[in-house]
Amino acid sequence: MDDARSRPHSSETHAMEANAVEANAVEDWQRILGVLADRRSCRDFDGTQMDRELLAEIVRDGMQAPSSCNQQQWHFVIVDDRDLLQRCHDISGGNHHFAECSALIYLCFQKGWTHGNFSVVQSVAGACYHMMLSAHLRGYDTIWNAGIGDNKALAELFGVPPIFEITGALAIGRAKPSAPAMKAPRRPFEEVHSWNGFARPAHTVYPVKAAKAYPYFEITNPSNPFAVWDPRGWSWAQLGDFRGYAVWAKSPLAGVYVSRRQGEATAAELDLLPDLKAGAKVAELMPWGGTYSAEIRRRLDSGVDFHLAELAQGNLTFILERLKREGFALDHTYGDRIDGPTLPYADGSLDAVILPQVLEQMPEPETMLDEVRRVLKPGGAVIASVRNLDSDYGDHWSEVESLGCIPNQGPFTPLSAETVRGWMAARFTPEVEQGIGTAVSQDATIVTDDNRTGCRLYAGRWRVA
C-alpha cells in the first residue's frame, strides 16, 4: 500500500503545508485577540463561590507578566470570606460589587524597589491585567478598582506591613444574567496615536491653568492646582469628549450615580414639573448619567415624549441602558445629540425643558437659555435649578471642593442665584421660585421668601409668555 508519509515531499508540497500552518497561525492569533478584546468590566456579580485552586491558578497566571528588573516585589491578598468581603465593601465607601463578587484580589507592592517612573506600580498593573485575561478566558468576569477606600484600614484588616502599598483591588466572579453585556466605548484609534512626535486632536486635550511645569506629585484628587473648574475655559467639544467617556466610570445599572449631597433635594426640584399630558414633548438638557432622567421618566405620563439632549453619544447610550435597567419602556424616550448650545428641535416645538443643575456646567449658559426660549411653545415651561454661589455650599465649593480635580460630570462653577434670576426674568415669566437647602449638603428645606437666594440650590419654573 502506498504510504504518503513515506514519499519525499516536493518543494510545492512543502510550500503548501507552510502556507497552511501560517494561515492557521494567523487565524489562531486573530481569534485569540478577538476574544481578549471582548473582555468588559463587570460591576454586578452573582456572588457564587469560586474554587480556591482556580483562583490560585488565575493569580499564578498573573505572575507571568513582566516585572521591572525582575524584582517581582508584588503581593496579592486573595479575599473570599463573605464577612471580609462585606468589610471591604464598607471600607470602599459602598462599592456594591465588593460584597457580591466571588473574590477580591488586593494588589500590593513593596515600596522602594525600582521605584522611579512608577516601575513597581507598572509591574503590578501588568500582573493585574494578566489575571483579568486569564479569568476572561476561563469564562469569569472581572473589574479592576482604584477606589478601594481607606488604605490604612485595609492594611490593618489584612496585616499588610507599612513598607507595602495597596494600590488597588481586582474583583472576580460571574456576572448576574441581568448584568449589562456592554463594553465601555473606546476612543477612535486616530485620536490616541501619532508617528514620530506627539499630535492629538484639540478637543481631547483638556484645559489646565498655565504653568511652566505640571509635577505629578503636586496633583491629588483633593488638591489640583492646575484644574480649570470654570466651564467658560472649556470648549463645548472638550466638554462632550470628557463627559461622554467619564460617565462610564460606572456601569449603567439601576440607581447608579445618586448624589449623597442631594438628600431629598432631587424630589424638591422635580416637584416643580408641570402637569404634562400624553403627547407632550419634553427635553432634559445635559443629563450626563441619567440620575434626574430616571426620576423624571418616573413622574411623566408614559405617553409623554421624553428627549435626552446630550453632547456625546457615550452619555446617551449609558442613560438609555440605565433607564431600561430601571424598568422603563423606551418607546417614548429618545436620545438626541446636541452641538454646543444649539438644540436639535424646531422653533416652538417643546412643551417643557428641564435644566437640573446644568447651567453652571455650560460655557455659554445665556446662549443656551436663548435656545430654550426658541424651542418652547407659547406657554411652555422651563424648570431649572442651579448650585448657588451665594450660599454656605458656595463657600464650601470655593474653599474646599474647587481645589481638587474636576469631577467626572465635568467642570462647573456655582452661579449666583440673583444672576440666574435675572437671566430667567429677561426671557421668561416666573411662575414659582424657591431655594432648596439651607445647609451645605443633604438638607432639602424649601424656602420661598426673600431668603431663597441664599440656599444651596436656587430653583424655579418659568413660562414663555
Which residue, 175, 174, 171, 39, is CA-closest to 105? 171
Residue 15, pLDDT score: 61
Determine how many CB atoms are found less than 10 A away from the CB of residue 91: 19
Q: Which residues contact 278 (CB under 8 A, 6 or more apart)?
A: 301, 302, 303, 304
Query: Do the beta carbons of residue 385 and residue 206 sit within 8 Å?
Result: no
Cell numbers standing for residue 148: 478601594
The radius of gyration of the chain's CA atoms, rounded to the nearest angstrom, is: 27
- Report the distance separating Cα 451 and Cα 304, nearest Å: 35
Which residue, 239, 233, 47, 32, is CA-closest to 136? 32
For cell 516601575, name the residue. Answer: 119
- Report the distance separating Cα 82 and Cα 293, nearest Å: 35
Output 360-363 pairs: Cβ under 8 A, ≥24 positions apart.
360/231, 360/386, 360/387, 360/412, 360/413, 360/414, 360/415, 361/231, 361/239, 361/286, 361/409, 361/410, 361/411, 361/412, 362/231, 362/286, 363/231, 363/232, 363/234, 363/235, 363/236, 363/239
Residue 116, pLDDT score: 82
The answer, as to whether pTM is greater than 0.75, is yes
Query: Do the beta carbons of residue 231 and residue 207 sit within 8 Å?
Result: no
Give per-10-residue mean pLDDT for the chain (465 aa): 46 60 70 91 95 97 94 96 97 94 97 85 96 96 96 97 96 94 94 97 97 95 97 98 96 90 91 96 98 96 97 98 96 96 97 98 98 98 98 97 97 98 98 96 94 97 96
Query: Do the beta carbons of residue 433 and residue 454 sit within 8 Å?
Result: no
Residue 410, pLDDT score: 97
Residue 23, pLDDT score: 60
Domains of the chain: 52-173 (3.40.109.10), 265-463 (3.40.50.150)
Query: Do the beta carbons of residue 453 and residue 388 sit within 8 Å?
Result: yes
Which residue, 299, 295, 301, 293, is CA-closest to 277? 301
Residue 4, pLDDT score: 44
Which residue, 290, 215, 193, is CA-closest to 250? 290
Residue 21, pLDDT score: 55
Determine how many CB atoms are found less than 10 A away from the CB of residue 104: 26
